[in-house]
A and B are shown apart, each in its own frame.
Chain A
Amino acid sequence: MAIGAFVALVGFSRSFEHEWARLYSSSGTDIAVVDKTFLNTSVSESIGVRLRTVPVVAQAEPMIFNIMDLTPDVNALVFGWLDDSYEFDALTFLSGGRFHNGKPEIMLGDMLAGNLNKRVGDSLELQGSAFTVTGIFHGGTALEAGAVIMPLDQLQQLSSLQGKVSGFHVRLRPAPEGEAQDHYLERARAQIEAALPGLNAQLASERASNNQFVALAHAVAWGTSSIALMMGILGIANTMAMSVFERTREIGILRALGWNRWSVMLLIQVEAVVLGVVGGFLGIGFGWGALRLLSTLPQTASIVSASLSPLHLIEALGIAVLSGLVAGALPAWRGAHLSPVEALHHE
């Protein structure tokens, strides 16, 4: 169960991060400009003017993102964009088209529209206000497929953020010939931060991994998994301690037959690791099933994709092996240090 929790929760948080990275990548965003505080919730919309004067900046789009309850069962990421944002480039309209600034209009990702059974021209109520669906789109990521996109000014009103935005998404001018992309990105970041003191220019890849939603998801996933793993280790340790106790006489027999302490310790440790690995495989199956389930539920489908990276599976198995070793250590030591005579006479 502990490995299952690790696979499901950490898999969920990494999948969430991966989707954010794809979101930036598909829209062509190179850098996100946000506030420097940890919970970088908002910056002034007016800094966009200065941002666009920075030489390396080709386009800078103000944006807001939030999570809203659309129905008691369905919540979704909600993005606020200007109606001429370059970020529309990553979307394909399946029906209808863009919203217009200043109007109570919204666009729905295709998965969300399906879940809500909404079509172009239908009305959807958000925070007590009615909005008309102007378009159904398909995006490159699960985040977009389950998202609402609406005019920036409308989301500012709904979020009580008039004059504020979550940040700016920036497309840079092409790197000068001969300059490596990584070097150019670092130079652009430094240039933007120098021009806008107090703000943080984050590379899109960094932003994908440390925006507050992803950071929170990672923290919850690792925190919960760690607790579950500790419980799992205690469970294996208890099982092995019981096993050593019940097999005290067998250990005495092995010692009488010439097995040394290390051999007995190795035997018990191997059993503990096998127990951990078998549990690990079952946990991976359980976690994989949980992720698949989450990716189909309306409440979570927009932020979860049912994909597990090979690295994540290797990590899970590594943790299972380590858990077995840690859990088996004390029972193995105790078993190996039993007196052969006392062990043989154990009832």
Chain B
Amino acid sequence: MNSPQLEVRNLRKSYDDGRIEALRGVSLSIAAGEFVTISGPSGSGKSTLLQLLGGLDTPTSGEVLFQNAALGTAIGLDSYRAHQVGFIFQAFYLLPTLRAIENVQVPMLAVEVVSRDRAQRAKALLLEMGLEHRLYQYPNELSAGERQRVAIARALANHPSILLADEPTGNLDSVNSARIMEMLIGIQKKRGMTLIVVTHENDIANSAPRHIRIRDGLVVDPGEGGHEA
């Protein structure tokens, strides 16, 4: 196994003054360039784990390490999200007042890409997603599948090393689901990125070389080839 790109150690996350424990001591590691799926029933803590891996939230205890540096202390969360992580959400989360090409440029504003480069890069990404005729459409003028493709282009805007997808096909029909997963896997292979997909769909969960199962805030199976740290 390659050296871990992401490592979590005894990760705990609780809400409501400790009354709700979403994660109860998760430890695992993920190598650079791995394609990993995380599945589990509703409320198992899989989305919480993804949020902590992406630096969207901070753990109650334990730590998340990116290339052996602790998030939130050795690496700032804002900088980590801006430079290393691309997010894809079930609900797309496109900004409704911006056109597709403008939505893709939003993450670039966080890393101060010059205006002309922003537009060129956004256009290239949307072309890669097969959206050459939808560059200037607003999100409400796009189909669900097209919105998710815009969201994937946006996630790739700052050339992240990790792609995190939280139920990326949850709002899509089967045809679009298959197409989106095909795209994500293609991107992961082509760019050598780490791809972590949270899903409750078995087909998708089993499509990855490594499938982590989580239940009641604990890892019950770290996946074939993987291991608990």
Contact = CB atoms under 8 A, between A and B. Distances in A.
Interface of A: 249-250, 252-261, 263, 339-341, 344
Interface stretch (B80-88, B185-193, B194-202): B80-88
18 contacts: A249-B93, A253-B93, A253-B95, A253-B106, A255-B78, A256-B93, A257-B82, A257-B87, A257-B106, A258-B79, A258-B83, A258-B107, A258-B111, A259-B110, A260-B78, A261-B78, A339-B57, A341-B56
Contacts of A254: 106
Contacts of A339: 57
A256 B78 contact: no
Contacts of A257: 81-82, 87, 106-107, 110, 154
Contacts of A259: 78, 82, 109-110
Interface of B: 51, 54, 56-57, 78-79, 81-83, 85, 87, 89, 93, 95, 106-107, 109-111, 154, 158
Contacts of B109: 259, 263
B93 A258 contact: no
B78 to A, nearest CB: 4
Contacts, number: 52
Task: Specify which of A254, A255, A256, A341 lies most central, judged by the most chain B CB atoms within 10 Å of its CB.
Answer: A256
A8 to B, nearest CB: 35
Contact of A258 (B51, B57, B81, B89): B81
A256 B110 contact: no
A344 B106 CA distance: 16
A263 to B, nearest CB: 6
B168 to A, nearest CB: 14
A253 B154 CA distance: 11
Interface of A is mostly: helix
Contacts of B78: 255, 258-261
Contact of A341 (B57, B107, B154): B57
List the 10 closest A-B pairs by CB distance, nearest first.
Answer: A258-B82, A258-B110, A260-B78, A257-B107, A258-B81, A341-B57, A253-B93, A340-B56, A259-B110, A341-B56
Contacts of A253: 93, 95, 106
Nearest to B158: A258
B110 A263 contact: yes
Nearest to A258: B82
B95 to A, nearest CB: 6
B70 to A, nearest CB: 19
A172 B81 CA distance: 76
A293 B208 CA distance: 76
Most chain B C-beta atoms within 10 Å of own C-beta, residue among A250, A257, A263: A257
A260 to B, nearest CB: 4
Given A255-B81, A258-B85, A258-B111, 17 more contacts: A252-B93, A253-B95, A253-B106, A254-B106, A255-B56, A256-B54, A256-B56, A256-B81, A257-B82, A257-B87, A257-B107, A257-B110, A258-B83, A258-B158, A259-B82, A260-B110, A340-B57
Contacts of A256: 54, 56, 81, 87, 93
Nearest to A339: B57
Nearest to A257: B107
A303 to B, nearest CB: 49
A279 B85 CA distance: 40
Nearest to A252: B93
Contacts of A344: 56, 89, 93
A257 B107 CA distance: 5
A254 B106 CA distance: 8
A4 B82 CA distance: 43
> Which of A252, A253, A254, A260 has most B Cβ within 10 Å?
A253
